[in-house]
């Protein structure tokens, strides 16, 4: 099997981190098994976006229903493509450096449907 990565689609009732990419370890027509913190988790394939490599960009997660998140993460936040750290993103910035792993990536505002003006 080729190396694949997956992330959950919006509005999926799973306690997985939105915007974070997980390694796919098994895949069939209906189900995928992904590795989450070294554990295997079975997920309906329809709930996942699957790619052969995760984009090296900050995923933007729009916080509509994340009232239980820590205060800095309420509202829109980013997920680091390298270490999955979550962080508030500076508005209008095109790139952001991860405080946890130190890597700098572009921010995927377009994919999140957020337009940057100016």
Should residue 87 be labelled a site residue for Zn ion when binding is judged by CB under 5 A? no
- In the complex, minimum distance from the CB of residue 8 to Zn ion, in angstroms, rounded to a whole number: 19
| Token duo for residue 80 | 């680091």
How do strand 104-107 and strand 57-61 relate by DSSP bridges?
parallel
Output the CA angle 66-26-18, nearest 5 degrees.
10
Should residue 98 be labelled a site residue for Zn ion when binding is judged by CB under 5 A? yes
- In the complex, minimum distance from the CB of residue 46 to Zn ion, in angstroms, rounded to a whole number: 29
Among 100, 104, 111, 116, binds Zn ion (CB under 5 A): 100
Should residue 85 be labelled a site residue for Zn ion when binding is judged by CB under 5 A? yes
Stretches 3-11, 20-28, 57-65, 91-99: which one binds Zn ion (CB under 5 A)? 91-99
State how far the Cα of 34 lies from the Cα of 65, in Å rounded to an integer. Answer: 24
Of 26, 99, 103, 19, give the one whose Cα is nearest residue 66.
19
Should residue 82 be labelled a site residue for Zn ion when binding is judged by CB under 5 A? yes
């Amino acid at each position: 099997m080729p190396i694949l990565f997956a992330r959950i689609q919006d509005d999926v009732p799973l306690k997985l981190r939105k915007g974070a990419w997980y390694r796919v370890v098994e895949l069939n027509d209906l189900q995928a098994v992904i590795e989450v913190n070294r554990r295997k988790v079975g997920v309906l394939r329809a709930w996942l976006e699957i790619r052969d490599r995760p984009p090296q960009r900050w995923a933007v997660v729009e916080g509509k229903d994340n009232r239980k998140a820590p205060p800095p993460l309420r509202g829109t936040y980013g997920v680091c493509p390298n270490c999955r750290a979550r962080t508030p993103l500076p508005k209008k910035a095109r790139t952001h450096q991860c405080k946890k792993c130190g890597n700098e990536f572009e921010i995927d505002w377009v994919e999140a449907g957020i337009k940057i003006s100016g």
